[in-house]
Structure 1
Amino acid sequence: MSVPKIKHIRASVVRGGGGDYHDVEDGHWIDDHIATPMARYPEYRQSRRSFGINVLGTLVVEVEADDGTKGFAITTAGEIGAFIVEKHLARFIEGRPVTDIERAWDQMYFSTQYYGRRGIVVNAISAVDLALWDLLGKWREEPVHALLGGPVRDELVFYATGARPDLAKQLGFIGGKLPLQHGPAEGEEGLKQNLAKLEDMRNRVGDDFWLMYDCWMSLDLNYATRLAHKAHEFGLKWIEECLSPDDYWGYAELRRNIPRGMLVTTGEHEATRWGFRMLLEMGCCDIIQPDVNWCGGITELIKISALADAHGALMVPHGSGPYSYHFCCTRHNSPFNEIIMSAPKADRVLPAFHPLLVNEPVPENGRLKLSALDKPGFGVELNPACTLHRPYTH
């Protein structure tokens, strides 16, 4: 069979949800007094949008082969990412066979290493990589999970991240992860309010439902350690992303100091095999949480997952909808998944990238049958009602 070559790559941006799930309207739980590194400044404490968490918007990367087959993917990188794709990365994609994904990743990463290595650059690389996997699956008329070796289970099970774990339990999820609302700058009163919220939710959901706290890089080692010990009374399953992603030493110390049986998790804002090697070799956490839209795409997630498996750690990706579903169903060390409750009141299950994708599968009663993923590529399409803007060409 003749292998088609990639004719063109395009990078566009879109506003209003999708890849940038913080691009929301007023009144959304995801923007309501959540602890952040910027909460040390009172003027940026109430709203995460106030310090610009939503400024980037969504990057959409589309690739088209010379036989007419198309693939696409999304991430959070906006116009800056579009510039990088169009002006730099395109040269490593166009004219190449649709099967040359590993070489494309290697060239994209090492050509940008002097100004990249993580952040927006690796976000952009992730979107290109995912679009290439989508294209390959559509050309072969196979789902991405089949390209990765096939599923090892018949369904995925989920926990929900949102402000209402009690509602998540009613919706059938195995657990609920709360956003921590008060950081160190709010003192002892803030700590008491964090614990009171946890106690209230434990009383609502009972003893057998998982409860976790997402601290979103907002704490210091002392505060995180105190929070963990006090939260142990209420059966906290894990404490997530407490410290700066660069503080590997702090994470290792935290893991040594927390109550026995509680887990430390992190990695949402880490990238590439080298970043996760640091977390794993230094004993920083029990579960790594790469976001496949940010960490380097599927090509890099394969390597990250293998590292975790060799270290006896679980890999439970951050959000990322169908992009992580297709991967996790093929790996034994990814036994459950996260879905971020994108409904403003966290009271109903919406697609992870609402409203940008069409046919995006969603869990029902906290589970997703693998049959929902049996479509070519990642099995989703762009919503034609969402307006794309292509700010650069090449």
Structure 2
Amino acid sequence: MMDRIERIEAFPIQYPDPNDFNTIRRTVLVRIETDHGVVGWGECIAMWPEACKAVALVIEQGLLPILKGEPAGEIEANWVKMRRHVWWYGEGGIASLAISGIDVALWDIAGKVAGKPLYALLGGLKHERLLANASSHVNKKGEAACVAEVEGFFAAGFRSCKLGFAKKGESNIGGDPDTDVSFIRALRKTLGDEASILVDIGNGVRWNVETAISVANRMYDLGIGWYEEPLYVTDDAGYAELRANTKVRIASGEREFTEAGYRRQMEFVRAIDVYGVDPARVEGVTGFRRVDALATQYGKAVNAHAWSTAITTAASLHLSLASPNTEIFEYKPFPVVVQDELVAEKLWHKDGWAYPLHGPGLGIEVQEAVVKRLAMA
């Protein structure tokens, strides 16, 4: 019998993040239940309290009324219906976040109904495994402490690291270009030539194009794997100039919301080599697949953003292993409740590799008591 959407619930939650000295992070979890009792989970990475509340309102007052009673398995039709509903306020932003959570949950349901893991619904595995990447913020006091922390990730089995600069904490990494290059030089000396080092300059840094080019070329000589968002993401002219003056691979994209945004980057800006794509932001699994198809068409690499709860980690892992364009898979290398307690079994690497989840749907069992405990006030 066909499963139909019976209820959709949005749960804004908050939790302390130890990677940022227990800064409070927020997100919205989505629970969908069919008329036959099948439950799927998704996530909308809204992050700010007002954005989380707005996403929950769009889901419960805007999208639930148009989806209630619809066939849960008609995912594409439901995705199109949501996008058409939000046409006036929704090419990106809050509406895209809301669509993302619902779409991921519907794919979770589809896998459970079929008795298949999500990757099987996406055409099967393109990789048997991916390099496990420790994705962290560089925020300890002094270069030596920052190097030692990353060295510890590799000692714990990781085979790659992605390092965010200018984050909350005690480090001055991201505050001075020479200091940043010195840190990567010291890290390369400690880890050796074969270690994969990816640099995420990030939103906290405000460089001009000349500085971005200078740092790019110095870090290229130190063998970094890519150089992420050294300029504000909409500085198209700056990225074009950077692309023309460095050989290092440039990464960006995790702040895009839609297929159209990525298409504009690939067709017109033509500066980015590695695109960050977040299923909890880019209108779900369906949106991610569309961006991934563009990446295949234009010969670009894709990196699934997974830096939130285990729900997004699971969706991103399935999508990454089912994509021909991925190279690594990111994990948070610190204990955090939304990874360790939110699901029955923590998603983690094995000997430095990310392997598939073989359970139906997302392959996770969400602990609803933990969802309630983390509810945002």
- TM-score normalized with structure 2 length: 0.85
Whether the aligned pair in 2 keeps the contact of 1:6 and 1:65 (CA below 8 Å) is: yes
Map residues 169-208 of structure 1 onto 2, 5 A cutoff: 169-181=154-166, 190-208=176-194
Displacement after TM superposition at 1:380 (Å): 1.2
Residue matched to 2:36: 67
Match of residue 76 from structure 2: 102
Q: Distance in 2 between matches of 1:180 and 1:255?
A: 21
Match of 2:27 among 50, 54, 58: 58
Q: CA deviation at 1:99?
A: 1.3
**Structure 1 residue aligned with 2:215:** 227
Secondary structure class of the residue paired with 1:178: strand
Contact 1:61 1:131 in 2 (8 A): yes
User: Does structure 1 residue 211 correspond to structure 2 residue 173?
Assistant: no
Residue 36 of structure 2 aligns with an amino acid whose one-letter code is D
Structure 2 unaligned spans of 5+ = 47-51, 139-148, 307-311
For 2:328, which of 316, 336, 352 is the aligned residue?
336
In structure 2, the CA distance between the partners of 1:130 and 1:239, relative to structure 1 (3 Å rule), is: same
1:21-48 superposed Cα distances (whole Å, 9 cap, x missing partner): xx42xxx44359xxxxxxxxxxxxxxxx
Which range moved further: 124-133 or 194-203? 194-203
Match of 1:382 in 2: 366
Identify which range, 96-105 or 115-124, moves more after superposition: 115-124
Structure 2 counterparts to residues 252-263 of structure 1, below 5 A: 252-258=240-246, 260=247, 262-263=248-249
Q: How does 1:127-206 map to 2 (within 5 A)?
A: 127-162=101-136, 163=138, 164-181=149-166, 190-206=176-192
Matching residue of 1:278 = 264
Offset at 1:171? 2.5
| 1:239 aligned residue (214, 221, 227) | 227
Query: Distance between the aligned counterparts of 1:79 and 1:127, measured in 2?
Result: 14
Identity %: 27
Kindly state the Cα deviation for residue 249 of structure 1 after the two structures are TM-superposed: 2.8
For 1:328 and 1:352, the matched residues in 2 are separated by 20
When residues 318 and 387 of structure 1 are mapped into structure 2, their CA distance, relative to the original with a 3 A threshold, is closer
- Please give the secondary structure, in 2, of the residue aligned with 1:324: helix
Runs of 4+ in structure 1 deviating by more than 4 angstroms, as ranges, are: 186-189
Q: Residue 13 in 1 paired to residue 12 in 2?
A: yes
Does the aligned pair in 2 maintain the 1:221–1:254 contact within 8 Å? Answer: yes
CA contact (8 A) 1:318 1:338 kept: yes
Residue 189 of structure 1: CA displacement? 7.4
RMSD, aligned CA? 2.5
CA displacement, residues 342-365 of structure 1 (integer Å, 9 cap, x when unaligned) = 34xxxxxx7873432332421122
8 Å Cα contact 1:288-1:313 kept in structure 2: yes
1:387, distance to aligned residue in structure 2 (A): 4.4
Matched residue, 2:20: 30
State the distance in 2 between where 1:31 and 1:177 align.
Answer: 18
Give the letter for the 1:307 counterpart: L
Q: 1:30 to 1:251 in 2, by over 3 A?
A: farther
Among 278, 298, 307, which residue is 2:285 paired with?
298
C-alpha contact 2:342 2:371 (8 A) present in aligned 1: no
Whether the 8 Å contact between 2:3 and 2:35 is mirrored in structure 1 is yes
Cα distance in structure 1, aligned partners of 2:188 and 2:181: 10
TM-score w.r.t. the length of structure 1 is 0.82
Relative distance call for 1:294 and 1:187 in structure 2 (3 A) is closer
Contact 1:270 1:295 in 2 (8 A): yes
The match for 2:55 is 81
Q: Deviations over 1:137-184 (max 9, x none)?
A: 1111111111111112322322221243322222232321222239xx
Amino acid at match of 2:329: N
The 3 A distance-change label for structure 1 pair 96 and 189 is: closer
Secondary structure at the residue paired with 1:381? coil
2:118–2:360 Cα contact (<8 Å) kept? yes
Q: Equivalents in 2 of 1:298, 1:76: separation in Å?
A: 14
CA distance in 1 between counterparts of 2:298 and 2:111 reads: 30
Query: Deviation per CA, 1:337-389, whole angstroms, max 9, x where unpaired?
Result: 2223334xxxxxx787343233242112211333xx11011011222442438
Q: Residue 327 in 1 paired to residue 319 in 2?
A: yes
Give the total of aligned pairs: 348
1:307, distance to aligned residue in structure 2 (A):
0.3
Instruction: Find the aligned partners of 1:130 and 1:387 in 2 and give their Cα distance.
Output: 17
Letter of the aligned partner of 1:238 in structure 2?
Answer: W
Equivalent in the alignment of 1:318: 305
